[in-house]
């Protein structure tokens, strides 16, 4: 009710071009640069993070709680997952978790919001509490050297339940060196997951 009232008083505008009544218009998405590579073969990414519109989209979702953009972005992320033939039958969707202290500051985990939309579109179960972050680390975006990024993520995740024989699809907003996803994947495989793939909005 509140959201409908706010939309009536302040109609949403496309974050890319400013057109009214659309959070992110199809033209801006189609004109955004696509990701040509990823750090690892098990990771798929849709867009190039250097594209100004995509960078603004990520920041809006991550820091300003722009949930209205998530369904649009999730649609393109799902198409990429389907195109890559990532295992779907009995696959479990997992968001990259946020440390509890950071969660308290931000109020929500943007990766989980994105993962829930992806799980709905793919009709797959989500288990947001399966992978947890047990160590607070520096923000990856503030670390520039690849080796430092890798070291920063070592030993930060833990698995809370039995995932033996399960196929996992990890969801996050951005991958750069792939250090976070690599550590999460290794943790899940050591816990008995049959396969672990990852999908991000941008690289």
Match 């369904």 to its residue by tokens.
Answer: 71
Q: From CA 174, how far away is CA 202, in angstroms rounded?
A: 5
**Taking residues 109-137, what's their average pLDDT?**
92
Contacts of residue 122, Cβ cutoff 8 Å, sequence gap at least 6: 78, 81, 88, 91, 93
Q: How far is CA 77 from CA 45, 188, 199, in A?
A: 8, 22, 7
Q: From CA 70, how far away is CA 65, in angstroms rounded?
A: 10
Q: From CA 164, how far away is CA 182, in angstroms rounded?
A: 19
User: What is residue 151's predicted lDDT score, i.e. its pLDDT?
Assistant: 56
| Residues 4-48 pLDDT 10s | 544 544 568 899 999 988 899 999 999 999 999 999 999 999 999
User: What is residue 2's predicted lDDT score, i.e. its pLDDT?
Assistant: 47
Match 């999730």 to its residue by tokens.
Answer: 74
**What are the structure tokens assigned to 103, written together?**
């969660």
**Taking residues 55-69, what's their average pLDDT?**
92
Q: From CA 123, how far away is CA 89, in angstroms rounded?
A: 10
Q: What is the DSSP string of 91-128?
A: EEEEEPP--HHHHHHHSS-HHHHHHHHHHHHHT--B-T
Q: Taking all residues of the chain, what is their mean pLDDT, rounded to a whole number?
A: 87
Contacts of residue 115, Cβ cutoff 8 Å, sequence gap at least 6: 93, 94, 95, 126, 128, 171
pTM: 0.87
Most distant CA pair in the chain, distance? 51
């Amino acid at each position: 009710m509140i959201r409908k009232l706010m939309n009536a008083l302040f109609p949403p505008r496309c974050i890319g071009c400013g057109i009214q009544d659309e959070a992110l218009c199809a033209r801006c998405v189609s004109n955004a640069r696509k990701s040509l590579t990823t750090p690892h073969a098990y990771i798929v990414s849709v867009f190039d993070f250097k594209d100004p519109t995509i960078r603004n989209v990520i920041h809006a979702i991550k820091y300003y709680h722009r949930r209205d953009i998530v369904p649009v972005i999730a649609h393109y992320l799902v198409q990429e997952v389907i195109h890559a033939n990532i295992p779907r039958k009995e696959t479990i969707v997992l968001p990259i978790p946020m440390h509890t202290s950071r969660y308290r500051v931000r109020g929500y985990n943007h990766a989980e919001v994105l993962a829930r939309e992806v799980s709905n579109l793919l009709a797959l179960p989500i288990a947001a509490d399966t992978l947890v972050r047990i160590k607070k680390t520096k923000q990856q975006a503030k670390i520039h050297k690849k080796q430092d990024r890798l070291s920063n993520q070592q030993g930060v995740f833990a698995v809370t339940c039995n995932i033996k024989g399960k196929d996992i699809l990890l969801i996050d907003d951005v991958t750069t060196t792939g250090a976070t996803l690599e550590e999460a994947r290794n943790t899940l495989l050591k816990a008995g997951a049959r396969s672990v793939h990852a999908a991000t909005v941008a690289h």
